[in-house]
């Protein structure tokens, strides 16, 4: 039986394992907490990085997410998937950071220099012009996403990169499913406009 197969309660085995670990965490089991972090660190760090840009604050915000998980463990009730609850915490901390930045007039989001200069793994297999165009397109997509309003940006990240359903995104953002579809429609319209010169080729 695969770990994603549904259990009689309607949850996948992976969901059930998350709940089991959270019950142990609520009892103060640090090993269970470390396992939980290991299972979901990539999801949290990836989501934070795509929302905030690759900078020194990403690891700090991701760490804060898991500190919240530890502190909230005794109050955790598995009404939805654990990852939905985890991404809600992530959303709150990311939005707080974005608002803090806007108050302090930080520079626009951008890739760190070492990230920008890193060649693509398969660059040698591609024609030089094609490799450069691919890199330019990826940067343009990331820049365009970074310029979206925060809720639209979060919806795009959760859908495009994290692969969440409309229902899961609605839970994370505390929105209705039609509202999420509207957010994504507006975001995609804006992204198409920003990336029109690439799409025309």
pLDDT digits (tens, 9 = 90+) for 21-80: 999 999 999 999 999 999 999 999 999 999 998 777 899 999 999 999 999 999 998 888
Shared domain check, 101 and 5: yes
> 174 and 199 in one domain?
yes
What is the structure's pLDDT at 112?
45
50 and 116 housed in the same domain: no
Provide the token pair at 63.
């760490």
pLDDT of 197: 79
Q: How confident is the prediction along the chain (201 residues), in pLDDT tens digits per residue?
A: 334 444 444 467 888 999 999 999 999 999 999 999 999 999 999 999 999 987 778 999 999 999 999 999 999 988 888 999 999 999 999 999 998 888 876 455 544 444 444 444 444 455 567 777 778 888 888 889 989 999 999 999 999 999 999 999 999 999 999 999 999 999 999 999 988 877 765
Q: Which of 108, 133, 155 is the last residue of a domain?
A: 108
Whether residues 119 and 28 fall in one domain? no
Q: What does the chain come to in residues?
A: 201
Residues 165 and 199 in one domain: yes
Whether residue 72 contacts residue 88, with contact meaning beta carbons closer than 8 Å, is answered with: no
Same domain, 155 and 172: yes
Q: Are residues 16 and 96 in the same domain?
A: yes
Q: Residue 56 has what pLDDT? A: 72
- Residue 159 shares a structural domain with residue 191: yes
Residue 102 pLDDT: 82
Looking at residue 70, what is its pLDDT?
Answer: 96
108, 129, 158 - which closes a domain = 108
Show which of 83, 108, 133 is a domain's final residue. 108
CA distance 136 to 138: 6
- Sequence-separated (6 or more) residues with CB below 8 Å from residue 9: 16
* Alpha carbon 201 to chain centroid, angstroms: 30
The verdict on 63 and 145 lying in the same domain is: no
Task: Provide the residue range defining the domain that includes 92.
Answer: 1-108
State the pLDDT at residue 57.
87
pTM (2 decimals)?
Answer: 0.78
CATH code, 82: 1.10.1740.10
At 125 the pLDDT is: 52
Kindly report the CATH number assigned to the domain that includes residue 138. Answer: 1.10.10.10
Co-location of 29 and 85 in the same domain? yes
21 and 90 housed in the same domain: yes
- Do 98 and 3 share a structural domain? yes
Structural domain count of the chain: 2
């Amino acid at each position: 039986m695969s770990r994603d197969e549904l259990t009689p309660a309607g949850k996948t085995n992976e969901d059930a394992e998350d709940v089991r670990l959270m019950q142990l965490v609520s009892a103060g089991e640090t090993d269970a907490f470390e396992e939980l972090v290991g299972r979901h660190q990539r999801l949290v760090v990836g989501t934070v990085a795509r929302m905030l840009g690759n900078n020194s604050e990403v690891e700090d915000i991701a760490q804060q997410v898991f500190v919240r998980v530890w502190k909230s463990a005794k109050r955790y009730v598995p009404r939805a998937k654990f990852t939905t609850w985890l991404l809600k915490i992530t959303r709150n901390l990311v939005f707080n950071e974005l608002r803090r930045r806007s108050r302090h007039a930080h520079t626009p989001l951008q890739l760190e220099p070492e990230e920008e200069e890193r060649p693509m793994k398969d660059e040698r297999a591609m024609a030089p012009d094609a490799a450069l165009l691919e890199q330019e397109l990826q940067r343009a997509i990331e820049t365009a996403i970074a310029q979206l309003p925060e809720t639209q940006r979060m919806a795009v990240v959760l859908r495009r990169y994290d692969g969440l359903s409309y229902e899961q995104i609605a839970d994370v953002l505390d929105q209705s499913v039609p509202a999420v579809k509207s957010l994504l429609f507006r975001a995609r319209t804006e992204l198409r406009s920003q990336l029109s010169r690439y799409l025309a080729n």
